[in-house]
Structure 1
Amino acid sequence: MQFQSATEIIQAYQQNPNLIGSNLQGIDISEIELYQINLSQSNLQQANLNNTILIGANFSQTNLSGANLKGADLRRANLQGANLTGADLTNTYLNRAELQNSNFTNANLEGAKLQVAYYDSATIWPEGFAYKSSGAVGPGANLTGAFLNTAYLRGADLRGANLRGSYLSGADLRGANLEGAALSGANMKGAFLIGANLRHARLNAVELDGADLRAADLTGASLDNILSIAGVDFTLVQGLSDDTRAMLSGYSGKDLGTWNSFSRTNTQNSLLSHITA
């Protein structure tokens, strides 16, 4: 689809927000509202989206090279695989946006808000940009003390991330890769860690009450000084050493007898399930 003006875009969007594969090169669609518009695989090279409201928009595999995105609201937008080479993202809102495999080479991210934006090892950042301390979530991220309560982090790549003292109570970390992550002192009460990779993670002194660790991989993980394991479900957990298993089984009867509110098993039975599986 070819569009020549913002008016044409608005009319088409109002009829159907799915404008996949559109040619919008150089178009001016600044300061308008296009909630959840789908412009995946489109060409917006050199387009002007200054202060445009694009919450929940889909720009996956889209060419946004050289685009003006100053102050644009891209919260929860899908920018996976997008080409943002040389784009101006000054003061852009990218909170919770999906940035996996995106290319930000030579982009301007000054003042951009990246809290809980998701990146991966394939994301290309501008040279010298301190993305690990930007509040974004990905490999090696520095999220010390971050407030991530109930955050949707399912399948997130957090290998080697620093999550010391972070707040992850109720967070959905199912299938997440937390290999080598530092989680000491984190609040993980009621967190969903089903199938998560916690190999060599540091879980010392975490708050773990009610966490769901079914089928998680704890090979080489450190679990020292945990105050309580009440209601933690260890069913089919992988990689627990005999010493760690014995240590967990030595917690108080109150801890071991507490039921997990979601999986409906108690901690002691879940440990026995692991042993006999």
Structure 2
Amino acid sequence: MNKPRFAGLLTALLGVCLIPPLAMAQSAIEGTWKIDLKRMQMPKKPDVLLLQDGMYQCKTCVPPVSVKADGTDQPVTGHPYYDMLAVKVIDDHTIQETEKKDGKVISTSTTTVADDGKTASFNFTENNNNNADPITGQGSMTRVAKGPAGSHAISGSWRTSGYGDVSDNALTRTYKVEGDSLSMSAPTGESYTAKMDGSDAPYNGDPGTTSVSVVKLGKHVVQETSKRDGKVVSVAKMTISADGKSMTIAINDKLHGSNMSFVAMKQ
């Protein structure tokens, strides 16, 4: 299943009219920001899953995944975060997924479909190679369409409803400005330092993003573009509130053809 990566795409502006616009953005962006889970707008485009005849398919994964659902490690290609996937059927309403990269467990998740089949709940743990604490969380999904007759209850189209809880290390980012460069660091070990002129800079600690560019679009708007091996994977447009205490981030996920938004609060 496509699990969102919680990127801290955050910035802000000061409202002091005597300071040039770029200087205002640079001053206010510094500090730590945290995503408010209650103010997330999840993608409307659903995930499409199928578990039938001993095979598990994630048809909307990029690239699509098709593996045996026998609980053993199955090789997958084209995914930056994992190269092995094990899908175990716990019962007729529950499955467990384990992702590995180079033999190391990267993530585990358990998804359980409600008895009426209309909703599902999931919990997950994500690890990385940055010697950081794992990310943990839980959330819920709503069914959009049923799966074929005779398939497992997880089959069908699902839209993520929201997250009831996610560990703070996935929700917080810290920013610092030095000259014309913006630096970001995260508890998960991700970081970058980029000039605010739209030029590419290395993105560290996330195999799904290899470079990033940051550009100021207007007095209250900054845009962050993430790339993987030169290809744009997402574009985040960040709009600052008048008081500089919150930021609305609209994300265009180029890989999956979907959009989402959330609000981050300055800590």
Same fold at TM > 0.5: no
Select the structure with the greater relative contact order (CA < 8 A; seq sep ≥ 6).
2
* TM-score (normalizing by structure 1): 0.22
* TM-score (normalizing by structure 2): 0.23
Q: Larger Rg: 1 or 2?
A: 1
Larger helix proportion, structure 1 or 2?
Answer: 1
Larger strand proportion, structure 1 or 2?
Answer: 2
